[in-house]
Structure 1
C-alpha cells in the first residue's frame, strides 16, 4: 500500500530535485571551464591598447568565438564578443564578425548597434568597415544608408579607393541606375587624369572597360 504524501516528504523531494539540478549545472559549468581554459590562458592582453596584437592572440580570439558559437548559448556569445572587442577594438574583422553573427541570430538591434560603434567610433577611419556597412545596409533594404557609406569613403575616408568605386558602381547597377554607375567611374577617371603619374588611372580604365562589357550581360557580385 502506497504511503500518503506528507508535507515533510514533499519538501524532501523538492530539495532533492533542487540539489540534483544544482549539481547538474555545476557539472556543466566545470565541463565548460575545462574546455575554455586553453582559450582563456592564451588571452595575454584582455584590455585595449594601441599596440597591435600578435597573430597568435588574434587567432585565439577567432578560435574562442568559433567554440562559443558552436556551444549555442546566445548570452555567452554576446558576452564573449563584447570582451573580444575590448582587446580587438581596432580590428574591423571582429566588428564585422560580430555584426554578421548577430544578424544570423536574428538580433538586428545588436547587429546595428555594433555597426554604429564600429563605423562612428572604434574603426571609423578604416575603409573596410564602411564598405562592409554599405553592403550590409543594401542587403537589409537601407539604400540611402548604403549610398551614404560609400560617399563617406569617396569624400573623406579614402578618396579614389578603387574597391569603393567598383562596389558602389555595382550597387547602383543592381538598383537599375546604370547612368549613376557609369558616372562614378567617369568622375573618378576625371580626377585621376588631373594627377601627375597616377597609379590608379590604368586600373580605373581597366575596371571601367570591364564594367561596360559586363553590364551587357551580368555584373559579378563584388
Structure 2
C-alpha cells in the first residue's frame, strides 16, 4: 500500500507539472508539527497557475513510531475569490486519502477538506485566519484476528460511511526570508468529532518553503 501511495504521488506530481508549465512559480515545502493529533512530517509541491489559483500535492507521515502506521496523501488547491488591496479571501479544497493500522485494525479511506483563509497578504508577509472542515467520507476497515478473538468476534470488515469530522479554527502566517525562501506557521483549536477523546484539541505546524 505504501508503494502504491508513493507511486500515485509521483504520477500526480508529474501531471501537475505538465499542466502548469507556464505558471509564475513553483514551491517545494516541508512541514513539521502537531497535525491531526500526531507529531508529523509533510513534504509537498505546489504550482501557482496564476495570481488567484494554486494547486498542490503533499504526503504526510508520523515522526513518532508507535503501534500505528499512518499516512495521508492530499491533492487540492486554493482559489482567491475576493481581493481589495492587501485584503484577500482564498478558498481551500482538497481530496484526502488516509491509511492507518495497528495491532487491532488496519484501514484506508477517502475524505475531503473545505475551508478558507481570509487575511492580509503583503509582498513579504501575510497574516490571516484559518477555517477548515475535514470530513472522512468512506473508510475500509480490516480487523485483526486478535481483535476478533479478544474484543468482538462478530465485527464486520468492509466499507463504512462517514466516520468522523475535524473542524479547525486558527491563524496562518508567512514571512519571506528572500525571493526563494519563506517560513510559514499555522495553529489553533481543533475539534476532532468522533476522535475527540484520542487527540488533544490543538494543532501547530511550521512550514519551510523553497520557491523557484
TM-score if structure 2 supplies the norm length? Answer: 0.27
Q: Which has the larger radius of gyration?
A: 1
Calculate the TM-score normalised by the size of structure 1.
0.26
Structure with the higher strand share, 1 or 2: 2
Greater fraction of residues in helix: 1
Higher relative contact order at CA 8 Å, sep ≥6: structure 1 or structure 2? 2
